[in-house]
Amino acid sequence: MSAVNVGMPRARLPEIDPSAYEAAPGAPLVDTFGRVHRDLRISLTDRCSLRCTYCMPEQGNEWLARESILTVDEIERVARIAAAAGVTTFRLTGGEPLLRRDVVDVVARLAAVRGPDGPVQIAMTTNGIRLPELLPDLVAAGLSRVNVSIDTIRRDRFAALTRRDRLPEVLEGIAAAAASDLRPLKLNAVAMRGVNDDELVELVEFAVSQGAQLRFIEQMPLDAGHTWDRAQMVTREEILGALSARWELTPVPGRGGAPAERWRLDGGPDTVGVIASVTAPFCGDCDRLRLTADGQLRNCLFSTTEFDLVPLLRGGAGDDDLDGMLRACILRKLPGHAIDDPGFLQPARGMNAIGG
Ligand code: SAM
Ligand code: SF4
């Protein structure tokens, strides 16, 4: 069983007893810190219709080779094995998942997967472009929830930030999601200094007007240009400070393993969330595992090690071998992302190629 190290010396990986790599079909995916993994993020493509500055370069992206992209059969097989091991949610992401031509088929095939406790949930994170045309078929295929990313509702800012003048299409996508039965509807916004940090209240008001919950995300060091600067990022405290000037914020208890902390606005029903991956990491409760579009398993967004499923999927390996690889990946999971460690290395892949 082989793991490919990406930018990190192998000697720094925790030593795991090789016998622990054995397949254990049906047993939960528990790591060495007792975290049970229930959520598989599946990236469908590294390609995208936007070029958000914090995620992708403007030009010169090295795309994954087309032949390396997992087929719907391969994705379904991994999902079935993960579900048998207790994964209950598949979140489709990318790149932009709606750019994948067979996205409706992917949803239909995954929605038919059953775990020991029955059906799984199929969620999607999208930039919203193409939602109006695709949402009815996605819902019919079994999509359970959708998150749409929108960092600004001002057209000039959107064009500068995403390097594409496509805000109207994103707004139409959000309107389509709001008109559907998919709930809860969540909107994601990365808070950025000098870009949208004067627009935080406006973004929440917009989300509320759509019947959606806004979740602010602290910017993470995952940009293709490696330009992230901790001193420049807008923190959870700053976000809460800005919102407190407009609303009384009451914490919502019962977060569980969810990345977002939530607050009621003026006693609620409406809420706002903050995903403070940098200043208040939630690694201790992480239940997530990732599959890249080219078949690499990752146990963390910030992982510098990947576990290659392609030789198994395309080399005639049995389901037990794939189950064993899932467990090997989980057993190598570190306690946290260590962004603040002096030796922190940003992963070689940009966010669009990892799957957010
Ligand atoms: N294209 C889809 C979208 O934008 O929703 C799905 C993929 S995108 C990588 C998933 C999420 O990751 C988005 O909400 C995006 O804002 C977020 N994201 C991307 N790069 C990020 C970064 N450097 N820090 C924090 N969030 C980031
Ligand atoms: Fe595309 Fe999403 Fe990355 Fe923006 S954040 S460039 S929409 S993958």
Query: Which helix (H) or strand (E) is 250 found in, with range?
Result: strand 249-251
How many Cα atoms sit within 13 Å of 143 on the Cβ side?
32
Which pTM value belongs to this model?
0.94
Task: Identify any residues that bridge with 118 across adjacent strands, giving them in sequence order.
Answer: 115
Q: Give pLDDT, residue 11.
A: 32
Residue nearest to atom 20 of ligand 1 (CA): 55
- Across 202-206, average pLDDT: 98
Q: Ligand 2: does its nearest atom lie under 6 Å from the Cβ of 52? A: yes
Identify which ligand lies nearest to the alpha carbon of 96.
Answer: 1
Q: Is the pLDDT of residue 228 over 80?
A: yes
Question: What pLDDT was estimated at residue 4?
Answer: 38
State how many domains the chain has. 1
Which residue did the predictor score with more confidence, 240 or 1? 240
* Res 345: pLDDT: 82
Q: What is the pLDDT of residues 180-201, one digit of tens each?
A: 999 999 999 999 999 999 999 9
Q: How far apart are CA 114 and CA 112, in angstroms?
A: 6
Instruction: Read off the CATH number of the domain in which 303 is found.
Output: 3.20.20.70
Query: Taking residues 9-31, what's their average pLDDT?
Result: 61
Residue pLDDT, tens place only, 95-136: 999 999 999 999 999 999 999 999 999 999 999 999 999 999
Average pLDDT over residues 264-277: 96
The residue whose two tokens read 């990313």 is: 149
Tell me the two tokens of residue 191. 């808070």
| Lowest-confidence pick of 15-19, 90-94, 332-336 | 15-19
Q: Which ligand is nearest to the CA of 222?
A: 1
Closest-approaching ligand to the CA atom of 53: 2
Rounded CA gap, 132 and 169, in Å? 9
Q: Map tokens 């600004």 to a residue.
A: 152
Could you tell me which residue, 338 or 289, shows the higher pLDDT?
Answer: 289
**pLDDT for res 184:** 97
Ligand 1 centroid from CA 292, angstroms: 14
Q: Whose CA is nearest to atom 5 of ligand 1?
A: 126
Which domain covers residue 89, as residue numbers?
4-354
- Please work out whether the CB of residue 223 comes within 6 Å of at least one atom of ligand 1: yes
